[in-house]
Structure 1
Amino acid sequence: CGAAARTNWHVASTGSDITGSGTLASPLSSIQTAINAATVGDTVSVAAGTYTENLVFGGKNLSLIGADSSNTIIDGDSVSQVINLKNGEDSTTVIKNFTLRNGIGWENNGSAILMGGGDYAGSPGPKLENLCITQNSFSTGGNAITSFGSTFSLKNSRIINNYGRSLSIQGTQSSTIDNVLITGNGKGVEINGGAAPVFTNVTISNHVGEINYVVFIQSSTPTFKNTLIVGNKHGIFTENNGSLTMINSTIVSNAGRPLEFVRSGSGTIINSIIYHNTNPVIVLDDDVQSSVYFSHSNIEGGQSSIYNDDGGTLSWGNGNISSYPVFADTANGDYTLADTSPCISAGASSVTIGGTTYTAPTTDLAGNARPS
Structure 2
Amino acid sequence: SVVTFQSNEPLTAELNGFTISGGTGTYLSAFDWTAGGGILCYSASPTIKNNKVIENTSENEGGGIACYYSSDQTIEGNTISYNSAGSTLSIGFGGGISVWSDNITIKNNTISDNSAGTNSTFGFGGGFQCASSTTGTIENNTIIGNSAGSSNTLGYGGGIACWDGSSLTIKGNIICDNSSGVLWICWPSIYYAFGGGIFLGDVPSNPPTKLINNTIAYNTVKFGYGGGIFLSFPESQIEITNSIFYKNSDYFGIGGQIAWWSGNPEPILTYCNYQLSSGVAPGAGNINEDPVFVDPSICDYHLQSTSPCIDVGNNNPVILTGLTTDIDGEDRIQNGTVDMGADEGGAPTLVELISFTAAGFRNRVAIEWETASEIDNAGFHIWRSRADNNSAEGEWIRVTEQLIPAKGGPTWGAEYTFVDRAVLPGHTCYYRLEDISYKGISTLHDPVLTRWK
Bin for the TM-score computed over the shorter chain:
0.5 to 0.7
Deviation digits for residues 241-287 of structure 1 (CA, Å, limit 9, x no counterpart): 34531111111011231011112255221110011113324112066
Corresponding residue for 1:112?
38
Corresponding residue for 1:155?
76
Deviation digits for residues 268-323 of structure 1 (CA, Å, limit 9, x no counterpart): 21110011113324112066x333111111111189898xxxxxxxxx43111111
Q: Distance in 2 between matches of 1:303 and 1:262?
A: 26
The two structures have a TM-score, normalised by structure 2, of 0.56
- The one-letter code sitting in structure 2 at the alignment partner of 1:217 is C
Corresponding residue for 1:15?
none
Corresponding residue for 2:96?
166
CA RMSD, 1 decimal: 2.4
CA drift at 1:83: 1.1
Q: Distance in 1 between matches of 2:322 and 2:241?
A: 8
Q: Distance in 1 between matches of 2:129 and 2:280?
A: 26
Contact 1:282 1:305 in 2 (8 A): no
- The one-letter code sitting in structure 2 at the alignment partner of 1:175 is I
CA drift at 1:337: 0.9
Secondary structure in 2 aligned to 1:111? coil
Q: Out of 114, 120, 125, which is 2:45 matched to?
A: 125
Deviates more, 1:141-150 or 1:339-348: 141-150
Q: Distance in 2 between matches of 1:253 and 1:83?
A: 34
Contact 1:153 1:177 in 2 (8 A): yes
Q: Out of 154, 157, 160, which is 1:213 matched to?
A: 157
- The one-letter code sitting in structure 2 at the alignment partner of 1:296 is Y
Contact 1:336 1:366 in 2 (8 A): no
Corresponding residue for 1:89?
9
Between structure 1 and structure 2, the one with the greater Rg is 2
- After superposition, where does 1:264-283 map in structure 2 within 5 Å? 264=234, 266-279=237-250, 280-283=256-259
Q: Out of 236, 241, 246, which is 2:211 matched to?
A: 246
Q: Distance in 2 between matches of 1:88 and 1:359?
A: 29
- The one-letter code sitting in structure 2 at the alignment partner of 1:188 is G
Contact 2:148 2:157 in 1 (8 A): no
Gap change, CA 1:138 and 1:330, over 3 Å in 2: same
CA drift at 1:142: 4.4
Contact 1:97 1:129 in 2 (8 A): yes
Gap change, CA 1:264 and 1:333, over 3 Å in 2: closer
Corresponding residue for 1:38?
none
Corresponding residue for 2:111?
182
CA drift at 1:146: 0.9
Q: Distance in 2 between matches of 1:143 and 1:175?
A: 18
Gap change, CA 1:153 and 1:208, over 3 Å in 2: same
Corresponding residue for 2:289?
323
Q: Percent identity?
A: 26
Q: Distance in 2 between matches of 1:115 and 1:132?
A: 17
Q: Out of 168, 174, 180, which is 1:228 matched to?
A: 174
Secondary structure in 2 aligned to 1:143? coil
Contact 2:203 2:209 in 1 (8 A): no
CA drift at 1:102: 1.0
Gap change, CA 1:93 and 1:85, over 3 Å in 2: same
**How many pairs align?**
271
Q: Out of 169, 194, 198, which is 2:137 matched to?
A: 198
Gap change, CA 1:338 and 1:263, over 3 Å in 2: same
Gap change, CA 1:268 and 1:241, over 3 Å in 2: same
Q: Distance in 2 between matches of 1:268 and 1:302?
A: 23
Secondary structure in 1 aligned to 2:48? strand
- The one-letter code sitting in structure 1 at the alignment partner of 2:112 is T
- Unaligned residue ranges in structure 2 (runs of 5+): 28-32, 86-94, 116-125, 150-154, 180-195, 222-226, 251-255, 340-453
Deviation digits for residues 20-45 of structure 1 (CA, Å, limit 9, x no counterpart): xxxxxxxxxxxxxxxxxxxxxxxxxx
- Unaligned residue ranges in structure 1 (runs of 5+): 1-80, 307-315
